[in-house]
Structure 1
């Protein structure tokens, strides 16, 4: 395992994650082996905007039933399950964090979606997947943890069919170049944070063989969304099932810093669709 893989496994999850989530689900009166997507929405959409952001991007993708989608950096599998259940696609979820993959497999089985959705632990920079296999690659809050953007985009292009779509929902570097406030959800101290400017991302996409289909900056929506959640967390108005189960008590500080970095324009949030060249 590479050094950066070890860092991400250490940052995101521990060996007790699945047991902790099971205990919380039971405390909520739920059966950990029979769940709905609504039951687990608070712990399986670990990105700015939650399920609403995922649906807004997926609605633009114009998926066809049965299409093959790669969820790159799938985490606990929330987006994978949503795409399968609501858009009728087949999904392979890949994440470098072993504990996340284990939880993704369990929650997918518990929601009855295993036949159309499976997961593997792998490095996004060296995907053990065939060339030109996928109709779309879903990449949500993933590039910011990858130390080699160009290599990552080359791998994405390789596994996409000609004309396939790259669907991005990503945090980028903002126009304010002051140091970020840490910790944030993707990094405790900045050692595994690899943010790129919008221009750098655009250039890298072009070099990798992608052309722009659609793109928009959704930072203002992200600020309002995170502000609302930060206020609720500060007042203790959250239930048992929250991202704190995954990140621990540090998540409160992560959430506050995420909002601060957005408000001070140190980071930006974008969503976009890019087409792979033939």
Structure 2
């Protein structure tokens, strides 16, 4: 199964957008959309932490690779930060565009359907490149990171919120939101990831472990998801990933608890 099929097989974009409009006829706020469009571990709070690296007063060219349903982009847009979104899954891009107009303060963002292994941008054209739980779906990480290095300007920055292999990868359980099987998951160990960044031309590599916060957040989400229907939010990752999300969510907790995965913030720079 391709990664596009993984995300599209349960997704009816037209029906989903109609459901959002029905629940929020006056428009939803960021927190109301978050169960649907902030599919990464940590949700909207994790995106807030990531966005602290971007200064709205600076006119930066920013690319969000693996933009998915677009929660990070909308959150940034309301702070005055413009991003270009890129995702290989066209139906997620359609959903992203549609959700822009379901927000109570509608935004207009640029979204491209393209493959991160072959970025459609000129050399030295971007100030910042962001990933949020997206490199883990890319089979040739060296090609992707080399492309990022190519399009970043001298002094540009790579900013990532990613899942890496933990100290006990043998305890990994599937399915997880980004993969139903190991063949769809491309996790690197921290050591291998740092080496890969250096090999692809990045320096000043810094990593911050968010795993404990991520586990606490995922436990809270799992508790909400297992409560009665009357207290559940009207929007949910189930609307994108289908009923398989129940097992995916449970396995995230198990994998974090077992040390099969770690959740990291990563920053790296290009040389002047």
Consecutive unaligned residues of structure 1, counting only runs of 5 or more, are 1-5
Residue among 182, 190, 193 paired with 2:182: 190
CA distance in 1, matches of 2:150, 2:130: 14
CA distance in 2, matches of 1:266, 1:211: 27
CA distance in 2, matches of 1:27, 1:58: 30
CA distance in 2, matches of 1:110, 1:26: 7
TM-score (norm: length of structure 2): 0.93
CA distance in 2, matches of 1:61, 1:91: 11
Q: What whole-Å deviation, never above 9, does each CA across 1:83-141 have from its counterpart, x for those lacking one?
A: 1211x222110001010011112222444321xx2001000101111111111011000
Shift in alpha-carbon separation, 1:176–1:15, aligned structure 2, 3 A: closer
CA distance in 2, matches of 1:129, 1:145: 21
SS in structure 1 at match of 2:78: helix
CA contact 1:61–1:167 (8 Å) conserved in 2: no
Q: Corresponding residue for 2:169?
A: 177
1:202: how far off?
0.1
Residue among 4, 8, 25 paired with 2:3: 8
- Map 1:194-233 to 2 at 5 A: 194-212=186-204, 214-233=206-225
Once the two structures are overlaid, the 10-residue window that deviates more, 232-241 or 128-137, is 232-241
SS in structure 1 at match of 2:64: strand
- Map 1:105-184 to 2 at 5 A: 105-111=97-103, 112-114=106-108, 117-184=109-176
CA distance in 2, matches of 1:69, 1:123: 17
SS in structure 2 at match of 1:60: coil
Q: What whole-Å deviation, never above 9, does each CA across 1:141-178 have from its counterpart, x for those lacking one?
A: 01111101111100111111111111110000011131
Q: Corresponding residue for 2:39?
A: 46
Q: What whole-Å deviation, never above 9, does each CA across 1:14-69 have from its counterpart, x for those lacking one?
A: 485222322322441425xx554344222111101111101112113445443111
CA contact 1:183–1:257 (8 Å) conserved in 2: yes
Q: Corresponding residue for 2:255?
A: 261
Q: What whole-Å deviation, never above 9, does each CA across 1:208-267 have from its counterpart, x for those lacking one?
A: 111125321111111111111111112234222011110111111100001100100000
- Map 1:65-76 to 2 at 5 A: 65-76=58-69
Shift in alpha-carbon separation, 1:47–1:125, aligned structure 2, 3 A: same
Q: Corresponding residue for 1:19?
A: 14
Consecutive unaligned residues of structure 2, counting only runs of 5 or more, are none
**TM-align CA RMSD:** 1.8
Q: Corresponding residue for 2:53?
A: 60
Shift in alpha-carbon separation, 1:233–1:36, aligned structure 2, 3 A: closer
CA distance in 1, matches of 2:113, 2:207: 30
